[in-house]
Amino acid sequence: MRLTQTLLRAELVRAQAVATIDGDRVRTWREVANRVRRLSGALRGLGVGEGDRVAVLAQNCDSYFEAYFAILWTGAVIVPLNTRLAPAETRFQLEDAGARALLFGEEFAETAAILKPHLSKITAWIGMDGPGGAADHALEDLVDRGPAAAETERRAEDLAGIFYTGGTTGLPKGVMLSHRALAAMAVNLTMSLKVDETIVNLHSAPMFHLADIGTFMATMVGGAHVFVRKLDETVMLDLIGRHGITHIFTVPAMIDRLARHPRAGETDLSSLRVLGYGGAPMPMGTYDVARARFPDVDIVQGFGMTEMGAHTFLEARHHRPGADPEKMKSVGQPAYGYEVRVVDPEGREVPRRQLGEIIGRGDNMMTGYWNRPEETAQALRGGWVWSGDAGFMDEEGFVYITDRFKDMIVSGGENVYSIEVENVVSRHPAVMECAIIGVPDDRWGERVHAVVVLKPGAALALDDLDAHCRAEIAGYKIPRSLQILDQPLPRSGAGKVLKTELRAPWWAGRERKV
């Protein structure tokens, strides 16, 4: 399937239905499809052709959504750029991808001005919010003037997008995803979540990231998309009540903030059906608060990575009261049409409940890393994507991630999995959020170190934390040192805690073996 088919179907069967809501601006599927055709025609007039890479640097908005489809309608390849990067990092990705055009939001006008003198291969600089500055063209002018172009049809195996990884262990890599891969994710999630045209999806995850799974899924069924540029829990609560949001896909940290917000108990949340999370495990403390605040809302989890999106699914029934609490510790079972194995370093499947590396395959797999044949060969072996996640599978196919291999702590010869400790620490009544890392220790090699953000007015001593943990986990897993931050934990654009940043000051000038 080509991704543009989702737009064509929505226009055909839901022409007059609401497609996008951005502030006070509401457009139907017919209006959106016609704007996509004209923007595609304008892009072709600017020299963008089949297979060219077109980058987008913007916050979530309806223009981003239209640009996404217009680029694909042109037969080009979208390169969504991380909005949290420094100009030098953005420049690297634009050069690496060989971008022909850049569309940017007004928040990134200064970045575009800095980059423009250094990127002569980009021949079209398009301001998504108007002309001026580095913009040679304004998106709205292009839509107004552009001829309605016929679709350049692409095959399922053709490249649709290049999505850059975070680059925490070196230079970012461009993950190549085909039309087939992105369409497979949309089909799979449509089945798993059982969505239909009544979905009103809030784009709460950044659109540059695959965590924003609703772009194609909600389009596929002709639902509605709601956008907001700067998202916080107050805005989210307002949008739920104002637009009848039914589905939100975000990270556990945002669910925690929603549940704890004073207005959560006062807002009409009757439309909300599903809170989906991914990108990071949900600490049990967060789950307890969310379940109490949203008793009638289904909570679901999807696990995946840029190289292999939404590969497992933990259903709503496994998050409901009375469900087996052990299943809540998993990331679910392989999603429809996908395979998962846990293997040893030679690729041999290990027995159930034995630790190994999680690998997977299916139509959602990447085709490789852009211009990185060696890294591609390392990640794609034997037709499988090797995740880098340590874990095991139980007898019913539930997959348990014990840790990223790089986050595993080896203390006194014992393996300590940070996720397990975080689940316990997060339930301390004084803790707002936490991260567990390994730091150097002369006696143990590494010691378990807790980095904690406290609730307002709360206090926490290491002895208190020790007593709290000792009832639930073995002594060697208990944090031996405590660090309290007066600001939120550092996170990636996808909401993952950046443990590399937390570890860096401790390991400066030293080699970490894990």
**Taken in order 83, 80, 14, 315, is the CA torsion positive or negative?**
negative
| Model pLDDT, residue 93 | 95
Fill in the DSSP letter of residue 412.
Answer: T
| Model pLDDT, residue 133 | 87
- Identical fold, 182-339 and 411-507: no
CATH number (1.10.3720.10, 3.40.50.2300, 3.20.20.100, 3.30.300.30) of 411-507 reads: 3.30.300.30
Token pair 């928040």: residue: 107
pTM of the entire structure?
Answer: 0.83
- Which helix (H) or strand (E) covers residue 451, if one does? strand 445-454
The full set of domain ranges for the chain reads 4-179, 182-339, 411-507
Q: Which CATH class is domain 4-179?
A: alpha beta
Q: Tell whether domain 182-339 is in CATH 3.90.550.10.
A: no
| Model pLDDT, residue 405 | 62
From first to last of its 514 residues, the chain has per-residue pLDDT tens of 899 999 999 999 999 999 999 999 999 999 999 999 999 999 999 999 999 999 999 999 999 999 999 999 999 999 999 898 889 889 999 999 999 999 999 999 999 999 999 999 999 999 999 888 899 999 999 999 999 999 999 999 999 999 998 644 457 899 999 999 999 999 999 999 999 999 999 998 889 988 787 899 999 999 999 998 887 889 999 999 999 999 999 878 789 889 999 999 888 999 999 999 886 667 788 888 999 999 999 999 998 889 998 899 999 999 998 889 889 889 999 999 999 999 999 999 999 999 899 999 999 999 999 999 999 999 999 999 999 888 899 999 999 987 666 677 878 767 787 888 998 999 999 999 999 999 998 878 889 999 999 999 999 999 999 999 988 888 889 999 999 999 999 987 667 788 889 999 999 887 675 5
Q: Are 389 and 357 in contact (CB under 8 A)?
A: yes
In the structure encoding, which two tokens stand for residue 440, read together?
């150097």
In the structure encoding, which two tokens stand for residue 205, read together?
């995850």
Q: Are 252 and 280 in contact (CB under 8 A)?
A: yes
Token pair 């989890």: residue: 301
Residue 413 makes CB contacts below 8 A (sequence gap 6+) with 445
Q: Determine the longest span between alpha carbons in the chain, in angstroms.
A: 71
Of residues 221, 77, 214, the one with CA closest to residue 159: 77
| Model pLDDT, residue 403 | 65
* Sheet with strand 274-277: strands edge to edge: 25-28, 18-22, 224-227, 200-202, 247-250, 274-277, 298-305, 308-314, 333-334
| Model pLDDT, residue 167 | 47
- Which helix (H) or strand (E) covers residue 260, if one does? helix 252-260
CA dihedral 52, 53, 56, 60 (to 10 degrees): 90
Helices (H), 153-276: 179-193, 214-220, 233-243, 252-260
| Model pLDDT, residue 170 | 57
Q: Are 478 and 466 in contact (CB under 8 A)?
A: yes
Q: How many CA atoms lie within 13 A of 409 on its CB side?
A: 30
